[in-house]
Amino acid sequence: MLAQIVLGALQVSLILVVFGTGLNASKNEVRYLMARPKQLAKTLLAMNVLMPLLVLIAVRSVALHTAVKIALFTLAISPVPPLLPRQASKVGLPHHVLSLLLTTSVLAVLTVPLSFAAGMALLGHSTTIAVERVLLTVVITVVAPFGAGMLARHLAPGLAGRAMRPLSLVAGVLLAASVIPILITASGAMLDLVGNGTLLAFVLFAAAGLLIGHWLGGPEPSSRAVLAIATASRHPGIALVVAQSAFPKQAESVLPALLAYLIVESLVSLIYVRWLRRRRAGMLPVLAGPSGGAST
């Protein structure tokens, strides 16, 4: 009963986060990637092609716990997490981050089943997933609350603006209150998975996502940073749904693996963000010129 309450609180907090994101979104921001097919293609290449391929190579060549292999593969084919705007705000919030969140989530209805089928074919397995469960998860956790937030902003912009801050506070408190008990409960199982290359595999997966996203993100530093973080950090809810649908016998042990990866990814991404900040700080004097103005 308590576990169900905690999981319910976690889902509500994530929905509130996405709803608050929708309150702050404009139509132009949402359409940004769809209007730039080249940038969208690079995003999908990084997230839905290169990362799954790297994981498939690792699964075939490295001896890892089965739950870890499933966690890495399901994460690699999942879209970006609802908390991406908050993560991206640490490096400056570029205008297309909301478009990336919504576009990749909507396209997940196609990309997740296709990526899963391709992966299973390459591994020689005939396992399938329940596509309707993936669709339902995407709609409930991203599309519906995001759309509701945008609609609220359109109908009552003043109220939406005043509601963003308290809503963000409530969502943050609820998120912490739900995540901490889950982490404590699963801590033993997470520690059991650490070893035999698991920790190294998680670090390499996160680092590879950051490197691929940074490489394909384009010349603009903020765009590179957002795609890097998005490629490394995935939607754990969808990954868990895929694991429960395709690998029901291992699903119980996959959740601790997903949680362990989220912790590792957060630390690796924090290092990346601090590196970006130091790099930008080092460039400022050069850009400013000797007199403090724009250099020629």
Q: Is residue 267 part of a domain?
A: yes
- Average pLDDT in the 79-94 region? 74
Our CA angle for 257, 263, 268, nearest 5°, is 120
Mean pLDDT of 78-100: 76
> Taking 70 as the threshold, does the pLDDT of residue 292 lie above it?
no
- How far apart are the C-alpha atoms of 263 and 266, rounded to whole Å? 5
How would residue 167 be classed by pLDDT, with cut points 50, 70 and 90? Answer: confident
Domains in the chain, number: 1
34 three-class SS: coil
- For residue 185, name the pLDDT band (cuts at 50, 70, 90): confident
The tens digit of pLDDT for each residue in 4-26 reads: 666 677 778 888 888 888 888 88
Q: Using the predicted structure, report yes or no on whether residue 124 has a pLDDT greater than 70.
A: yes
Between residues 170 and 192, the one the model is more confident about? 170
Considering the domain boundaries, does residue 204 fall inside one? yes
Answer whether 218's CB lies under 8 Å from 42's CB: yes
* Domain assignment of residue 112, yes or no: yes
- Residue 14: predicted pLDDT: 82
pTM assigned to the model: 0.83
* Domain at 122, CATH number: 1.20.1530.20
Cα separation, 272 vs 146, in Å, equals 28
From CA 127, how far away is CA 66, in angstroms rounded?
A: 15
CB atoms within 10 A of CB 258: 24
User: Which amino acid makes up residue 34?
Assistant: M
CA-to-CA distance for 98 and 85, rounded, in angstroms? 7
Residue 296 within a domain? no
- Where helices occur in the chain by DSSP H, the ranges are 2-23, 27-31, 37-45, 51-61, 66-76, 84-88, 97-123, 131-138, 144-155, 157-193, 198-216, 221-232, 236-246, 251-288
Six-digit token pair at 33?
A: 């990637």
* Per-residue pLDDT band at 286 (split at 50, 70, 90): very low
- Given a cut of 70, whether residue 93 has pLDDT beyond it is no
| Stretch 22-39: mean pLDDT | 85
**Considering the domain boundaries, does residue 100 fall inside one?**
yes
The answer on pLDDT for 46 being more than 70 is yes
Per-residue confidence (pLDDT) for residue 288, from 0 to 100? 42
User: Do the beta carbons of residue 119 and residue 56 sit within 8 Å?
Assistant: yes
Q: 233: how many CB neighbours lie within 10 A of its CB? A: 25
> Is residue 201 in some structural domain?
yes
Q: Is 174 exposed, middle or buried (0-12, 13-18, 19+ CB in 10 A)?
A: middle
Give domain status of residue 291, yes or no. no
Q: Are 18 and 149 in contact (CB under 8 A)?
A: yes
Burial class (CB in 10 A: 0-12, 13-18, 19+), 142: buried
Residues 165-192, mean pLDDT to the nearest whole number? 80
Per this entry, what is the length of the chain? 296
Instruction: State the pLDDT at residue 291.
Output: 44
Distance CA 100, CA 57 (A): 27
pLDDT at 7: 64
**Interval 219-233 mean pLDDT:** 86
Domain that holds residue 58: 2-278
Output the CA–CA distances (angstroms, integers) from residue 50 to 5, 15, 275, in the order listed: 37, 29, 24
Q: What is the pLDDT of residue 187?
A: 78
Residue 295 lies in a domain: no
Which of 178, 210, 204 is closest to 87 using CA atoms? 210
pLDDT at 296 over 70: no
